[in-house]
């Protein structure tokens, strides 16, 4: 199957020839899709990944480019290992993260260490280089908590409601401080709900991956009642397009951006669309589990107008088209991902 991040790409490709790029969390969902696209563009790509079992790391994600990338099996909590990799990079995409909100609440120290200490290690390593490599940090709309006004944008107060969001917001502050005080060129990108090929399909990642996998297995997708909660759903190829543009644009340095489709999609309608596209599975509304009700964020979607203006960008992939492609990917790779 043609790689989606390359097929849908529209930003200039000549910037990447022989450029040395480090992607932390490079065996994960977003990082691996970015790697496929950058390899195709001619970049020299290194992937730093600890291969922690519950965080989406999957060696199958680099199938087809495994001989074209360098994989450093190391943890972002290991400052020396991070420093060694950053020292050889012109650009760092810091995608490594603990991204399970429930896990963060149950294991706060681990979430702190990965999302905060890990980011500090990347920034300290970049600071030690002369010149410092550019650092693009993938954050999350979770930094907004339960917003009272929609859509959220960069002016919306960031008030995290759980430890995951709090630690991601803290890491954003680190990026700003290292940019302002130490001259490390940083950019923060707050991702909405990303879907597409290579997304994890277990409970630790997000409903968009779980829903697709459940439908492909011809099982029942469970949606919390009444199914009207809205999320901003964006295809990974559109995210890769933005990240690549951020890696070459001077206008984005020192800035924070929200990255999403700009539209709210209810989880009920998302599930029904996936079932329709797949032709398998069904949808069932179920009561909220107590542990999830405590961290219910309500409706969350964003307005990426600042990003559109800075990078002359807009999302290219319509939801139904992207879901159809994603279903096809998992059907073609059932043994690997399901």
Burial class, 250, CB count within 10 angstroms (exposed 0-12 / middle 13-18 / buried 19+) = exposed
Per-residue pLDDT, 296: 75
Instruction: Please provide the DSSP assignment of 307-335 as one string.
Output: HHHHHT------HHHHHHHHHHHHHHTHH
SS3 112: helix
pLDDT at residue 277 in the model: 97
Residue ranges per structural domain of the chain: 17-337
Q: How far is CA 223 from CA 84, 270, 291, 324, in A?
A: 44, 10, 15, 20
Q: What angle do CA 167, 169, 170 make, to 5 degrees?
A: 65
pTM: 0.94
Give the pLDDT of residue 119. Answer: 98
* pLDDT for 123: 98
Report the topology of domain 17-337: Rossmann fold (3.40.50)
Can you give the three-state secondary structure of 195-231, one letter per residue?
ECCCCCCCCCCCHHHHHHHHHHCCCEEEEECCCCCEE
**CB neighbourhood size of 146 (10 A):** 15
Q: Which residues pair with 302 in a beta bridge?
A: 152
| Res 331: pLDDT | 96
* Confidence at residue 203, expressed as pLDDT on a 0 to 100 scale: 61
Q: Are 134 and 93 in contact (CB under 8 A)?
A: no
| Binned average pLDDT, 10 residues per bin, the chain of 338 residues | 47 77 97 98 97 88 98 98 98 96 92 98 98 98 94 97 96 98 98 95 75 95 92 97 97 98 96 97 90 77 97 96 97 92
Determine the pLDDT at residue 83.
98
> Which contacts of 310-313 are long-range, i.e. CB under 8 A and separated by 24 or more positions?
310/249, 310/251, 310/252, 310/255, 310/257, 311/242, 311/245, 311/246, 311/249, 311/251, 311/252, 313/241, 313/242, 313/245
Region of residue 200 (left: phi > 0; alpha: psi -120 to 50; beta: else): beta
Structure tokens at 253: 């340095």
């Amino acid at each position: 199957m043609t790689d989606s991040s390359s097929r849908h790409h529209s930003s200039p490709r000549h910037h990447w020839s022989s450029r040395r790029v480090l992607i932390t969390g490079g065996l994960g969902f977003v990082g691996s899709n970015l790697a496929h696209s950058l390899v195709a563009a001619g970049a020299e790509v290194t992937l730093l990944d600890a291969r922690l079992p519950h965080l989406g790391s999957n060696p199958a994600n680099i199938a087809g480019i495994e001989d074209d990338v360098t994989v450093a099996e190391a943890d972002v909590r290991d400052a020396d290992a991070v420093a060694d990799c950053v020292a050889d990079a012109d650009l760092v995409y810091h995608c490594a993260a603990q991204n399970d909100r429930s896990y963060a609440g149950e294991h706060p120290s681990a979430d702190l260490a990965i999302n905060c200490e890990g980011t500090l290690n990347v920034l300290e390593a970049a600071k030690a280089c002369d010149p410092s490599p550019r650092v693009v940090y993938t954050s999350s709309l979770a930094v907004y908590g339960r917003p009272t006004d929609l859509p959220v944008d960069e002016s919306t107060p960031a008030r995290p409601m759980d430890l995951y969001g709090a630690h991601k917001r803290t890491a954003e502050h680190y990026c700003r401080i290292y940019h302002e005080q130490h001259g490390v060129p940083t950019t923060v990108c707050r991702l909405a709900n990303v879907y597409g090929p290579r997304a994890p399909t277990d409970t630790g990642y997000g409903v968009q991956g779980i829903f697709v996998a459940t439908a492909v297995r011809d099982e029942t997708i469970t949606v919390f009642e009444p199914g009207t909660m809205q999320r901003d759903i964006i295809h990974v190829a559109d995210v890769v397009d933005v990240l690549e543009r951020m890696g070459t644009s001077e206008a984005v340095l020192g800035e924070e951006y929200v990255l999403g489709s700009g539209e709210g999609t209810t989880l009920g309608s998302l599930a029904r669309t996936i079932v329709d596209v797949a032709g398998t599975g069904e949808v069932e509304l179920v009561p909220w589990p107590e542990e999830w009700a405590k961290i219910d964020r309500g409706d969350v979607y964003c307005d990426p107008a600042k990003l559109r203006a800075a990078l002359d960008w807009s999302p290219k992939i319509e939801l139904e088209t992207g879901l159809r492609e994603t279903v096809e990917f998992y059907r073609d790779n059932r043994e690997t991902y399901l």
